[in-house]
């Protein structure tokens, strides 16, 4: 790479270009480089990357540049304050913070994993584990992005004391915008990959549930018939005053109901709260990021439709479970506490969906809000059913 020194914009040089420049210059020209135009925060190890004959000149240059920028930093601090100093420090940084590098490396690893498993059967657990690890970095990555946006705002609202400072601030804002765009694009890249993975997990979960619905329905009907049989026999034997017979029948039918409920729960495909919130976050974030939303339009639509199904299925299961406890309180140590816990789980999910609202998922939030409005009266009905069941059992 060749350089014409009079045309080099030193403040915009990246680290590789600076090293390439220093390699081409003899020691006497390195000594005459304009230190006031050199970038700040040049790492000391670059002296090891130039020819041995040039190393003393590079080391002297770095010492002079660092001294110059330290003095200017002190002057800036007196004139402009700490917020401007922080913004300039970020703008003059070579490369990106460790959290951004780690985030990028994790994304690269996830892409590699996808390619390696392309021809194999999709394993949701394998990919969701990796997605969860990357998600743990999102708060820090977004904080970095937010900090850069704040720095841009600070410099934009600061009046320069002179033209030289105006030029420095303009260059700093340009650098910060490049950093901001890089991180935003990196987030978008991740949102695209994540939704491509999670839409498969969402659809996979829906298919599992749909495939079991017929067998689940048969079990529920059997439990309902036994419950009806229990009530009818109790009424018959009461009229005949055969209380021992009532007790024997109750125990036999209750045991069978308990066995069927256990079988139903054992075979049930569980929709977890964590999965629902993970899927919703992925849909919303991919929909909001300008870099990602147009790349996954089809996947987002498929994910929203399946998630709507799963949200309704989750709620209906919680309500059925609460009603099952109410009708068969002998299956729980503390039936009322169990009912409240089940419905509290539903309340949490509905609240989460209702609050995580944007244009693309407004109808999901609306559906959640509608369910919330009905949940209080539903809980009262179920607890009323529990009281009736307890009274019936108490009259045995």
Q: Quick check: is 70 in a domain?
A: yes
Q: Residue 187 has what pLDDT?
A: 95
State which H helix or E strand residue 341 sits in.
helix 335-355
Q: Residue 242 has what pLDDT?
A: 54
Q: Quick check: is 44 in a domain?
A: yes
Q: Quick check: is 176 in a domain?
A: no
Please measure the distance between the N-terminal and C-terminal CA atoms of the chain and give it in whole angstroms: 95
**Contact by Cβ (8 Å): 93, 182:** no
The whole-angstrom separation of Cα 298 and Cα 305 is: 11
Q: Quick check: is 15 in a domain?
A: yes
Neighbours of 76 (CB within 10 A): 18
Q: Residue 217 has what pLDDT?
A: 73
Q: Quick check: is 303 in a domain?
A: no
Q: Residue 125 has what pLDDT?
A: 79
Mean pLDDT by 10 residues, the chain (396 residues): 60 78 88 83 86 90 88 91 93 86 94 84 81 92 93 94 92 93 95 92 88 73 73 60 57 72 70 87 88 90 88 82 70 70 77 67 60 62 61 48
The DSSP output letter for 92 is T
- Residue environment code for 251-284, b if the CB has 16+ CB neighbours within 10 A, otherwise e: eebbeebeeebeebeeeebebeeebbebbbbbbb
Q: What domain range includes position 69?
A: 5-80
Question: Tokens at residue 262, please?
Answer: 């256990």
The whole-angstrom separation of Cα 5 and Cα 26 is: 13
Any idea what the Cα angle at residue 197 is, between residues 196 and 198, rounded to 5°?
100
SS3 for 26-43 is CHHHHHCCCHHHCCCCCC
The total number of structural domains that make up the chain: 1
The whole-angstrom separation of Cα 284 and Cα 364 is: 11
**Contact by Cβ (8 Å): 316, 310:** no
The DSSP output letter for 332 is S
Q: Quick check: is 34 in a domain?
A: yes
Q: Quick check: is 12 in a domain?
A: yes
Q: What is the maximal distance between C-alpha atoms in the chain?
A: 116
Q: Residue 271 has what pLDDT?
A: 83
Place of tokens 């799963």: 310
Q: Is 38 helix (H, G, I), strand (E, B) or coil?
A: coil
Any idea what the Cα angle at residue 95 is, between residues 185 and 31, rounded to 5°?
145
The whole-angstrom separation of Cα 128 and Cα 304 is: 18
**Contact by Cβ (8 Å): 354, 277:** no
Q: Quick check: is 184 in a domain?
A: no
pTM of the complete model: 0.73
Q: Residue 348 has what pLDDT?
A: 77
């Amino acid at each position: 790479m060749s350089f014409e020194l009079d045309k080099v914009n030193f403040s915009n040089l990246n680290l590789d270009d600076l090293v390439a420049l220093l390699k081409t210059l003899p020691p006497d020209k390195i000594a005459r480089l304009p230190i006031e135009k050199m970038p700040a925060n040049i790492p000391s190890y670059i002296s090891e990357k130039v020819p041995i004959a040039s190393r003393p000149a590079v080391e002297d240059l770095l010492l002079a540049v660092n001294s110059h920028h330290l003095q200017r930093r002190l002057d800036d601090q007196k004139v402009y304050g700490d917020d401007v100093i922080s913004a300039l420090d970020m703008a003059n940084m070579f490369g990106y913070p460790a959290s951004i590098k780690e985030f990028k490396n994790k994304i690269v690893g996830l892409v590699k994993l996808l390619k390696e498993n392309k021809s194999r059967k999709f394993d949701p657990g394998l990919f969701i584990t990796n997605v969860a690890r990357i998600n743990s970095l999102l708060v820090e990555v977004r904080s970095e992005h937010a900090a850069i946006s704040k720095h841009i705002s600070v410099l934009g609202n600061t009046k320069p004391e002179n033209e030289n400072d105006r030029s420095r601030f303009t260059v700093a804002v340009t650098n910060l915008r490049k950093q901001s765009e890089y991180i935003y694009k990196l987030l978008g890249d991740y949102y695209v990959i994540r939704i491509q993975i999670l839409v498969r997990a969402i659809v996979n979960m829906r298919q599992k549930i749909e495939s079991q619905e017929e067998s689940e329905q048969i079990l529920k009907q059997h439990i309902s018939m036994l419950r009806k049989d229990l009530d009818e026999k109790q009424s018959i034997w009461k009229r005949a005053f055969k209380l021992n017979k009532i007790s024997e029948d109750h125990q036999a039918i209750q045991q069978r109901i308990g066995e069927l409920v256990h079988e139903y729960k054992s075979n049930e495909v569980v929709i977890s709260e964590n999965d629902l919130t993970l899927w919703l976050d992925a849909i919303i974030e991919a929909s909001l990021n300008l870099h990602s939303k147009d790349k996954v339009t089809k996947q987002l639509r498929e994910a929203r439709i399946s998630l709507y199904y799963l949200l309704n299925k989750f709620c209906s299961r919680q309500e059925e479970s609460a009603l099952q406890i109410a009708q068969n309180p002998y299956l729980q140590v503390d039936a009322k506490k169990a009912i409240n816990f089940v419905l509290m789980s539903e309340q949490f999910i509905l609240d989460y969906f209702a609050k995580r609202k944007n244009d693309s998922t407004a109808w999901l939030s609306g559906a959640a809000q509608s369910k919330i409005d009905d949940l209080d009266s539903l809980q009262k009905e179920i607890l009323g059913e529990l009281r009736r069941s307890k009274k019936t059992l108490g009259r045995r």
